[in-house]
Amino acid sequence: MENTANTVQIDNLSHTIIPAQSVLSASDSDEWLMATHGKTFHFAARFLSPTLRRHIAILYAFFRTVDDLVDAPPAGRQRDDIRKEVENWRFWFTENHTFPAPQEPLGTRLASVLTEHCVPTTIFLDFLDGMSSDLKSQEIHDFQEMYRYCYRVAGTVGLAITHMLGVRSPQALEAAEKLGIGMQLTNILRDVGGDLAAGRIYLPLEDLARFDCSPTYLFQLYRDQRGPDDRFRALMRYQVARAHRYYVSGMSGIWLLPAECRLPILLAGRLYRRILAEIERKDYDVIRSRASTSTTEKMREAAIAFTLDRLWRRGEIFTATEAGVPLED
């Protein structure tokens, strides 16, 4: 996000006001953020009810604001300063929103939504753990560590949204976490080139060694800009297959959601999974470009998701009718 922010100090907390959005209402500001930085999710969220969509936009604004603060800090913000703001967010959550948040009026809007939907605080503390880990120079040694990172920065988002949809079943929550993992694995895979440019590697060292792709080798591939070779393709093929498995597990839980909420989640999952197909279509060249879905592909996936949702609802109606269960109006 462009750095147009002014910062003031209130009770030792850093409060940021963004002039570029100051002419917008609070709901428009949250919607703008989601439309600008989360195009896939914003497209899918169009199929939510207006109220739930507004609440999801507020939730997204929090996750995006903190993630951008850590990954793309505004000019002049030092790492210790950013770390302090992340910790201030942690304190705000643990103290049950009893004082102004590190960024207002975002905190006030978020507190209202979390109270209404009873989203557990632990979810946000886990997310902030992930943000804190991003502030440190560290290597991911194996998939267990990669999974933990993906859970913190994305699985938590899936869990928070599921709670906001009013779902609490263990099966649905587990599926939501897995879908979040699949989406974050997708983000990591399509951003390999950008991460290398920033001096970062999120792929596990254990996997790199398995395919004879050391960090030094990956950085050299990026510097040479010659695209993937057989070793890199084999590494990426392995990673893409793993991500597909998490989509299978995660998307199986969509049918446990309320009927009116299934379509946008199904669409978001299908759109993100489509990015994996684009990576495969590009012959795994994520070093020189970033895979994305076109508007045409989004519309195609929307049509497929709509058809699947209709068929599932008809199946439910048929099953209920056969069982003699009265249908709701």
Residues 66-95 pLDDT 10s: 999 998 888 888 889 999 999 999 999 999
pLDDT at 5 over 50: no
The CA distance from 7 to 255, in Å, is 45
Domain 137-329 has CATH 1.10.600.10: yes
The residues, any chain, with a CB within 8 Å of residue 14's CB and separated by 6 or more, are: 7, 81, 84, 85, 88, 102, 103
- Is the alpha carbon torsion for 214, 216, 217, 221 positive or negative? positive
Whole-angstrom CA distances from 206 to 212, 228, 279, 290 are 10, 19, 22, 24
Which of 29-43, 62-76, 208-222, 294-308 is predicted least confidently? 29-43
pLDDT at 324 over 50: no
Find residue 10's DSSP bridge partners: 13
pLDDT in tens, 232-257: 999 999 999 999 999 999 999 998 99
Predicted pLDDT at 43: 73
Q: Which residue has the higher pLDDT, 165 or 31?
A: 165
Listed in order, the ranges of the chain carrying CATH 1.10.600.10 are: 137-329
Mean pLDDT for all residues in the chain: 85
Predicted pLDDT at 27: 58
Supply the pTM of this predicted model: 0.83
How far does Cα 27 stand from its chain's mean position? 20
Residue 139 C-beta-side C-alpha neighbours within 13 Å: 9
pLDDT at 14 over 60: no
Predicted pLDDT at 48: 78
Instruction: Assign 159 a pLDDT band (cuts: 50, 70, 90).
Output: very high
Predicted pLDDT at 58: 92
Helix (H) or strand (E) holding 14: strand 13-17
Instruction: Identify whether the C-beta of residue 149 lies closer than 8 Å to the C-beta of residue 140.
Output: yes
φ and ψ at residue 9, rounded to 5 degrees: -110, 125
The CA distance from 201 to 140, in Å, is 8
